[in-house]
Structure 1
Amino acid sequence: MKLAHLTRFTLALAVILLSNTAQANNQRKIDVDSSVVTQHKAKINGERFNYTVKTGTQPVWDDKGDAIATLQYTYYTRDKVDDRTTRPLLISFNGGPGSASVWMHLAYTGPRVLKIDDEGYPVQPYGVKDNPYSVLDVADIVYVNPVNTGYSRVLENSKGEMLSKAKQKELFFGVNADIKYLAEWLNTFVNRNERWRSPKYLIGESYGTTRVSGLAHELQNSQWMYINGVVLVSPTDIGIKRDGPIKAANRLPYFAATAWYHKALNDTLQAKDLDELLPEVEQFTINELIPALAKGGFIKAEEKRRIIKKMAEYAGLSEQFIEQNNLDVPTQFFWKELLRKRGQTVGRLDSRYLGIDKRDAGESPDYWAELTSWLHSFTPAINYYLREELNYKTDVKYNLFGNVHPWDRSKNNTGENLRLAMAQNPYLKVMIQAGYYDGATNYFDAKYTLWQLDPSGKMKNRLSFKGYRSGHMTYLRHDDLKSSNNDLRDFIINALPAKGQAAKY
């Protein structure tokens, strides 16, 4: 080969190599291990103080010590704390599965929350504002995004290969896989941030309640990390079955709350306050409706007629509709039927929200009015907030909802494991928070879960329930943002043992 040809060849090869390097460097990937620190000021619960935010990523390692995923987190610490060992750490997860930890971060416990109106509806310009009710005054907080949510991602191996879908499911996308890798990740996080001696609390919303119920046990039994409190916001069944007559009957108190909110009840019931109405409906549900449903097709005609009449009154539905459904009204039918004559549907996750369908006929709404409303404000707010206020910049897309399906729901013993964690740990307390207008994880199901969590009743003094006049996101309504944070603040403080109090029975 002549020198001129060799030079041209060398130059061409160099161009190709530089081009490939540029392409590699410009791939849209999240940093595996990173952090950005920013400083801020707040006035919370009437007190002014400074706080620090660390936003970053931290790897998930396999048994060989290789990074197989990275989780993005946002960690808030109050400044000028003399003794971090006595300061609580609140570890926050949302649910889905497949949902980012954005909802409670930017609407409930964080020091900055959405710009929305007092009932939770979006307003423009989108953005965030100060949250004077955040629990950052009494606890440091870390919001964790599981794999494929937020900026968290599965990683390529050293050969540039991705794990197979089957392997990803085995490691990340199932009830027990999720709990196992998150417990390992939290061990590393606590180590890196020197929080082993701090009192620790888990809070989860929706499927996040399954996650934190399992984590309480996994952290204690596999990481030897003991928890002071677990908060279940709008809980799932956490493996405690609610089938048959229980499942059907437990919807009625939620139906009544929603009908009351939309003024769809008769004048006598509508005149009652919700706090007066719901105990009445709950007693009917427990003492009359569940036994009636248990009798199935062999219920006496006179008793069935009486139950239908009462159900129709409480649910704001016609007796004919109740009878056609054999006392078992599916929720999707209810969302369509309640306000059908008004030409409106009600939301699933928050039934205060109204929708309009192409046709008033049909069995279920065309779309979820509440979710579309929330995405208005949450999507621009979290993207703005992380980039412009917390200075965490990446071209990776922030996944409010990530691809984690199919999700392995088998062997869900999280409720029983939470009970066992409580039994093993006398310090551990549990609080449930639920919204009366939540049709996805209704508040009476949440009460039922609380009642069944410890059938012995020996630990019921460590279990508590709080209800709110909101929906699945109990905190979107301004009054409930204040009250739910106050309830959470009280729970955190009250779950701290007295000085010198030993963990024993």
Structure 2
Amino acid sequence: MRLLLLVVCLAVPPAGLATVSRAVADTPAAVPSAPAAEAPAPAAPRLPGPSVTRHELVLPDRTLAFEATASAITITAPGGREEADLAFVAYTIDGEEHGRRPVTFLVNGGPGAASAYLQIGAVGPWLLPLGGDRIVPSQPPDLLPNPDTWLDFTDLVFIDPVGTGFSRLVDPDDRTRSRYLSVDGDAKVLAEAISRWLVDNDRVGSPKYFVGESYGGFRAPIVAQHLRDDHGLALSGLTLVSPVLDFGWWQQPDYAPLPMVTLLPSLAAVHMDAEGTFSEEALRAAEDYAAGDFLADLLRGVHDRAAVERLVDRVSALTGLDRAAVAREDGRIDAGEFARESRRDEHLRTSVYDATVTASGRDRGSDPVLDAMTAPLTSAMLGLYRDTLDWLPNRDYQLLNADVTRGWDWGSHRGQPEAVTDLADLLSLDPALRVLVTHGRTDLVTPYFGTELILRQLDVSGSGDRLRQVTYPGGHMFYTRSDSRRAFRADARALYVGQSG
């Protein structure tokens, strides 16, 4: 998951956290993915035809019989030239009138992240338990039946955008890269793939939903607009998981106050969790201070020593950081500084994806959450494709592709990439649309309070009943914690039941 100037899973990671996850499929001759060089890369082998398998998932309180389809959708240029293969896995329940059953399309973020995080981490029929307090890269990649799957109340289609999972450009060149690895091009292609799946499977009449995590949450309103305007297909609901709605809030100089305001409540939550003193009332108090006196003293500047002293005292108390460390920064603490300082005396480094999770060694190194889950997720997905879905292409599987992240074209959105305008327009035009926004309270990559401050600004009649934000224990991938994953499922189910009821 990553952050662009911030986001992975995910979105683009903070400087120094970018990684490439590349596991070679268990086949004789895996072909490396296309490099970002100017010279044309050799075309990757095409993806195999669909594999359809039937399964029965036995859970403690129910049994689900369903069909799984692993396949790809080939996207063509207007002239008919084949340009890209988008891999997907679809799970459809048995014994239902499919034309009226909800169907949900799910993507992760990056840009450059495959949908494995949501598929086997939260929503799909099988789960890779990762543990909330510590993620171990060498854990067995054994999948278990997922009691928190959403398959009860919606069919599920997990899509891997170009450059992630097994999805690739057919014949990479500068023109196709520009189309597929860009804000608008990516959204248009995802909308086209969704439209194609709906038509091919006779599901145009089904209630349609979209789930996006991190940069996938940024994608969601833009994809919804293209589905509506380009294909005549309206979504019934959106679920945004740890989203970035406005990159302009984050891509600011060090002195800008908004990133510090949005981060402070999450830092306070980390400290309260560590002390065992967390309460919703205390978190609300931290939010009120962040958007009130904290912001006012930040704006007074570093030369107002009385304001600086107030900041240092209060920030040190809220975050648990050593007062001297806070004073060195004039009360202005960012995610990197907190990760370095919060557990320094214990010789631990802190994850920015969930600041309650640490690893030994206080020097900079791999992130204890994002990088720790790369190997088990990748291995588990390869096992799922080979042993359960009977579909394992002859190419690399890419969980996180740093080439996609680095090469992303922000196009006309470069000044301030944001999806808030599209979200507001969707809510304004469609009074039946429902949106669930979810965050982990100790996520320092996409802090929940930033989203809350943005959503407060939306002036859409009746949006309070249709636009809901929920914050769970945990970080960017809060669903690695079983209690948060269970609560997430309950809140999602309420979105679907409310829409159909």
TM range (shorter): 0.7 to 0.9
Return the letter of the residue paired with 1:195. Answer: R
Indicate whether 1:113 and 2:114 are aligned: no
Matches of 1:319 and 1:53, distance apart in 2: 55
Matches of 1:341 and 1:277, distance apart in 2: 26
Among 97, 101, 106, the residue aligned to 1:92: 106
What secondary structure is seen at the aligned counterpart in 2 of 1:371? coil
Return the letter of the residue paired with 1:73. Answer: F
Matches within 5 A, 1:20-169: 28=31, 29-32=44-47, 34-43=49-58, 46-81=61-96, 83-117=97-131, 119=133, 121-122=135-136, 124-156=139-171, 163-164=172-173, 166-169=174-177
Identify if the C-alpha distance between structure 1 residues 91 and 45 changes in structure 2 by more than 3 Å, giving closer, same or farther: farther
Return the letter of the residue paired with 2:239. Answer: V
Indicate whether 1:174 and 2:179 are aligned: no
Q: Which residue of 2 aligns with 1:19?
A: none
* Contact 2:218-2:418 at 8 Å conserved across structures: no
Return the letter of the residue paired with 2:366. Answer: Y
What secondary structure is seen at the aligned counterpart in 1 of 2:227? helix
Deviations 1:9-67 (CA, angstroms, capped at 9, x unpaired): xxxxxxxxxxxxxxxx9785443462100111124582223010000111011111221
Return the letter of the residue paired with 1:185. Answer: A
Identify the structure with bigger relative contact order (alpha carbons < 8 Å, sequence gap 6+): 2
* Contact 1:347-1:353 at 8 Å conserved across structures: yes
Shift of 1:358: 6.5
Matches within 5 A, 1:11-410: 28=31, 29-32=44-47, 34-43=49-58, 46-81=61-96, 83-117=97-131, 119=133, 121-122=135-136, 124-156=139-171, 163-164=172-173, 166-239=174-247, 241=249, 244-263=256-275, 272-297=277-302, 299=304, 301-357=305-361, 359=363, 365-402=364-401, 403-404=403-404, 405-410=406-411
Matches of 2:66 and 2:198, distance apart in 1: 19
Identify if the C-alpha distance between structure 1 residues 388 and 311 changes in structure 2 by more than 3 Å, giving closer, same or farther: same
Shift of 1:432: 0.7
Return the letter of the residue paired with 1:377. Answer: P
Matches of 1:413 and 1:317, distance apart in 2: 33
Matches within 5 A, 1:413-428: 413-428=418-433
Matches of 1:174 and 1:238, distance apart in 2: 16
TM-score, reference length from structure 1 = 0.85
Matches of 2:30 and 2:335, distance apart in 1: 45
Matches of 1:473 and 1:45, distance apart in 2: 25
Among 478, 481, 484, the residue aligned to 2:482: 478
* Contact 1:204-1:231 at 8 Å conserved across structures: yes
Matches of 1:68 and 1:409, distance apart in 2: 20
Matches of 1:382 and 1:227, distance apart in 2: 29
Matches of 2:205 and 2:58, distance apart in 1: 27
Matches of 1:120 and 1:308, distance apart in 2: 31
Identify if the C-alpha distance between structure 1 residues 378 and 172 changes in structure 2 by more than 3 Å, giving closer, same or farther: same
Matches of 1:443 and 1:355, distance apart in 2: 24
Matches within 5 A, 1:453-464: 454-456=458-460, 458-464=462-468
* Contact 2:211-2:241 at 8 Å conserved across structures: yes
Deviations 1:141-178 (CA, angstroms, capped at 9, x unpaired): 0000000100001103xxxxxx32x3133211111111
* Contact 1:213-1:238 at 8 Å conserved across structures: no
TM-score, reference length from structure 2 = 0.85
Return the letter of the residue paired with 1:491. Answer: L
* Contact 2:133-2:356 at 8 Å conserved across structures: no
Matches of 2:433 and 2:60, distance apart in 1: 26
What secondary structure is seen at the aligned counterpart in 2 of 1:136? coil
Unaligned stretches of 5+ residues in structure 2: 1-27, 32-43
Structure 1 stretch displaced more, 276-285 or 384-393: 276-285
Structure 1 stretch displaced more, 60-69 or 242-251: 242-251
* Contact 2:30-2:395 at 8 Å conserved across structures: no
* Contact 2:349-2:362 at 8 Å conserved across structures: no
Matches of 2:475 and 2:247, distance apart in 1: 22
* Contact 1:209-1:238 at 8 Å conserved across structures: no
Identify if the C-alpha distance between structure 1 residues 210 and 368 changes in structure 2 by more than 3 Å, giving closer, same or farther: same
Larger Rg: 1
RMSD: 2.1
Shift of 1:332: 0.7
Identify if the C-alpha distance between structure 1 residues 212 and 47 changes in structure 2 by more than 3 Å, giving closer, same or farther: same
Matches of 2:106 and 2:134, distance apart in 1: 21
Matches of 1:38 and 1:474, distance apart in 2: 31
Deviations 1:161-201 (CA, angstroms, capped at 9, x unpaired): xx32x313321111111111111121111111111000111
Return the letter of the residue paired with 2:265. Answer: P
What secondary structure is seen at the aligned counterpart in 1 of 2:370? helix
Q: Which residue of 1 aligns with 2:24?
A: none
Identity of aligned residues (%): 24
